Structure 1
Amino acid sequence: MKLYNQSNNEELAVQVGKAYSFFTRLQGLMFSKDLPTGCGLHLKPCQSIHTYFMNYAIDVVFVNKRLEVVGIIESMSPRKTSKVFRSAASVFEFPAGTVSRTNTNIGDVLVIKES
């Protein structure tokens, strides 16, 4: 699936993986070598994340059920735990720099387009 920022017409990712089961959310990006530009991972349901067993920073975008951005963490370092975003229903993880490159902000609305 692809992900766009409807608020500013920016493309966040052309290939977004799905982590919708307990085990796929638990594994997330752990032990992966990198997350290529243009890729991402959608974790649902999810209100907080960790970057244990990772060797690179990621951008994290927390969204509510309407895919409105309710929280952002840019360049989250490995071996960290995020705070809990109570209003979040799911999370998108991207390569570090994606949020800045796409000028994504809290309050923006994202759109998923199935490939």
Structure 2
Amino acid sequence: MVTTLWVARNRAERRQGLLGTDHLDGALWIERCSSVHTVGMRYAIDVAFVGAAGRVRDVVTMVPGRVGLPRPLARAVVEAPAGELRRLGVRPGTVLAAQQLAACG
């Protein structure tokens, strides 16, 4: 499974996330993150909550204007346009690493 992956590493990048974008080709890995919202988003996104050792704990699709529930055991999230994570075969139990997903960042 390979897609273009952007990594949000610092506080400003994590806070910005996908806000203000019209589309994303690929996915965004947000480190040190356990909850997301889509307030101000212009499109629906898939969100994978990633726990210790890169294991996906949950995958949800969020429409614009929603606030997601925190996932206390999540250490990172992967955000992608709605349908992209399913296309890549990402589901609970999948083990992810940024290197697996990406060619960019």
Fold match (TM-score > 0.5): yes
Identity %: 32
- Is this contact kept in 2: 1:12–1:98, CA < 8 A? no
User: What whole-Å deviation, never above 9, does each CA across 1:7-53 have from its counterpart, x for those lacking one?
Assistant: xxxx152x1111121111111110111112xx111111000001121
Instruction: Give the alignment's Cα RMSD to 1 decimal.
Output: 1.5
Q: Going by fraction, where is strand more abundant, 1 or 2?
A: 1
**Which structure has greater helix proportion?**
2
Partner of residue 8, structure 1: none
In structure 2, the partner of 1:3 is: none
The reply to whether residue 98 of structure 1 matches residue 87 of structure 2 is: no
What is the aligned partner in structure 2 of residue 42 from structure 1?
A: 29
Task: Give the total of aligned pairs.
Answer: 101
Contact 1:71 1:106 in 2 (8 A): yes
The unaligned stretches of length 5 or more in structure 2 are none
Runs of 4+ in 1 over 3 A off after TM superposition: none
Unpaired segments ≥5 residues, structure 1: 1-10
Which position in structure 1 is the counterpart of 2:48? 61
TM-score normalised over the length of structure 2? 0.87
Equivalent of residue 89 in structure 1, options 56, 69, 75: 75
Superposition TM-score, scaled by structure 1 size: 0.80
